[in-house]
Amino acid sequence: MTDTTLSRPKAGGTALPVLGTISVCHLLNDLIQSLLPAIYPILKGGFDLSFAQIGLLTLTYQITASLLQPIIGLATDRRPAPYSLTIGMGASLVGLVTLAFAPNYAALLIGATLLGFGSSVFHPEASRIARLASGGAHGLAQSLFQVGGNAGSALGPLLAAYIILPRGQESLSWFALAALGGMALLTGIGRWYARSDHARPVRRGAAVRHPGLTRGQVNRALAVLMVLILSKYVYLACLTSYYTFFLMERFALAPDSAQLCLFVFLAAVAAGTIIGGPVGDRIGRKTVIWISILGILPFTLLLPHVGLTATVALSAVIGLALASAFPAIIVYAQELMPGRVGMVSGLFFGLAFGIGGMAAAGLGVLADWKGIGFVFQACSVVPLLGLFAALLPNVSPHKEP
């Protein structure tokens, strides 16, 4: 990517080439990240892992990401690091190769840790760049950015089913080419960011929170958003980590068929992500958050009790609705604290990973004890936490300097 490929950010205008590029990079990043859960059937058989060990592997990856993301976001709020994205993708590349040639469970944990580190660097800075390139259409920009990630997450299981599962663990290393391509694109993004007026520390005295809200209101709203993230990602952890095992056990599906069903769910998640941001721009982010989380409750309650076709259809509806909440939550949180975009983005992306990791570990233990079917029934009531959305204040968009 050359300097002429990406124009300087213009006041009041959306830098579509930048948004498109950062979305593609998000696709490559999350495709790489999604290969870890996609190859769980190989790892479970090859290393004789229990469900609890699979959960610990997910926990290791996601806790690494969740603990570092807000720290990295806050650091880059204070001192921008335009080329940090390339470094993060490089860490993911090393993690991918480590997983491909891991001789034992300890090496798998190291590979998962490196993947988590790469993700922790990528998400807060990439989310900031999407906002800078938005031209004020923050929800649309966040949706475009996130749909790249969700598309990558959906492609991971599909590619794993057709490339990795038939050829074995070492074929995971072929995806290092995707990481190398991402590093090249992110170097161009870093060059654009370095030349922009935004690649400078936040000036002293800049507004940290929304001017229309008190510190207490902001803190309470952030706490409510965290509860909603808890609801969303506990249920997502159930589906992304254990949906294939649920289908294989309940309907006697082969692993590749179960992976295709997982792809349907993750593709619906990608579609929902596109919807959530622009709809939030139009009707209000609070409304989108309320509907998308609480609204899936009837479908989650039905899913453990229906046939295969209905299960796949319900999972698609759930993924579509549930995913629309996250762009709205991220932009809503950024509006609460406009002077801390990197920290807020890192906090919520990190919280998503952390909750997902802890939920995956806990649900793995529960699955070993009570069975996969029980896990899906227990998680079906989690969307009730969407009722907390009623406590969110109405927040008007904050015009950035």
* Whether the predicted pLDDT of 67 surpasses 80: no
| Alpha carbons 363 and 396: distance in angstroms, whole number | 38
* Whether the predicted pLDDT of 180 surpasses 90: yes
CA angle 279/284/290 to nearest 5° reads 90
Sign (positive or negative) of CA dihedral 20, 73, 176, 50: negative
Output phi, psi for 253, to 5 deg: -75, 150
pLDDT > 70: percent of the chain: 90
Res. 401 pLDDT band, cuts 50 70 90:
very low
Q: Mean of the per-residue pLDDT values for the chain? A: 82
* Whether the predicted pLDDT of 397 surpasses 60: no
- Tally Cβ neighbours within 10 Å of residue 309: 8
Containing H/E element for 393?
A: none
Res. 107 pLDDT band, cuts 50 70 90:
very high
| Alpha carbons 245 and 75: distance in angstroms, whole number | 40
Q: Provide the pLDDT for residue 222.
A: 87
Q: Provide the pLDDT for residue 294.
A: 83
Q: Provide the pLDDT for residue 6.
A: 47
Alpha-carbon 290 to chain mean position = 20
Tokens 């593609």 belong to residue: 24
Are 21 and 185 a contacting pair, CB within 8 Å?
yes
* Whether the predicted pLDDT of 307 surpasses 60: yes
DSSP 340-379: GHHHHHHHHHHHHHHHHHHHHHHHHHHHHHH-HHHHHHHH
> Could you report the per-residue pLDDT of 202-255, keeping only the tens digit for each?
554 445 556 567 878 888 888 888 888 888 888 888 888 889 899 999 998 888
Average pLDDT over residues 262-270: 83
Q: What stretches of 160-254 show up as alpha helix (H) in DSSP?
A: 165-167, 176-195, 215-251
Tokens 């975009």 belong to residue: 341
| Alpha carbons 124 and 116: distance in angstroms, whole number | 13
CA atoms within 13 A on the CB side of 85: 30
Average pLDDT over residues 61-66: 78
DSSP three-state, residue 301: helix
Q: Helices then strands (H, E): number in the chain?
A: 16, 0
| Alpha carbons 31 and 179: distance in angstroms, whole number | 10
Domain 215-391 -> CATH class:
mainly alpha
Instruction: Indicate where the chain has its CATH 1.20.1250.20 domain(s).
Output: 16-195, 215-391
> Could you report the per-residue pLDDT of 133-142, keeping only the tens digit for each?
877 777 778 8
Query: Using the 8-state DSSP alphabet, how is residue 306 labeled?
Result: S
Instruction: Tell me which of 283 and 386 has the higher pLDDT.
Output: 386
Res. 43 pLDDT band, cuts 50 70 90:
confident
Q: How far, CA to CA in Å, does 369 sit from each of 44, 61, 291, 364, 375?
A: 17, 23, 34, 9, 10
* Whether the predicted pLDDT of 127 surpasses 90: no
CATH code for the part of the protein at 16-195: 1.20.1250.20
Res. 8 pLDDT band, cuts 50 70 90:
very low
Cβ-proximal residues to 58 (8 Å cutoff; 6+ apart), any chain: 36, 37, 112, 237, 241, 356, 357, 360, 361, 364
| Alpha carbons 370 and 368: distance in angstroms, whole number | 6
| Alpha carbons 43 and 40: distance in angstroms, whole number | 5
Instruction: Tell me which of 207 and 322 has the higher pLDDT.
Output: 322
First to last CA, the chain: 29
Q: Provide the pLDDT for residue 152.
A: 85
Q: Provide the pLDDT for residue 302.
A: 94
Q: Provide the pLDDT for residue 104.
A: 92
Give the pair of three-digit tokens for residue 366.
Answer: 């529960």
Q: Provide the pLDDT for residue 205.
A: 47
Q: Provide the pLDDT for residue 4.
A: 36
Report the candidate in 84, 89, 386, 360 with the shortest Cα–Cα distance to residue 231: 386
Q: Provide the pLDDT for residue 97.
A: 92
Beta strands in 32-178 (DSSP E): none
Give the pair of three-digit tokens for residue 284.
Answer: 């209000």
| Alpha carbons 157 and 153: distance in angstroms, whole number | 7
Res. 306 pLDDT band, cuts 50 70 90:
very high
DSSP three-state, residue 126: helix
Average pLDDT over residues 156-170: 84
DSSP three-state, residue 62: helix
| Alpha carbons 23 and 223: distance in angstroms, whole number | 28
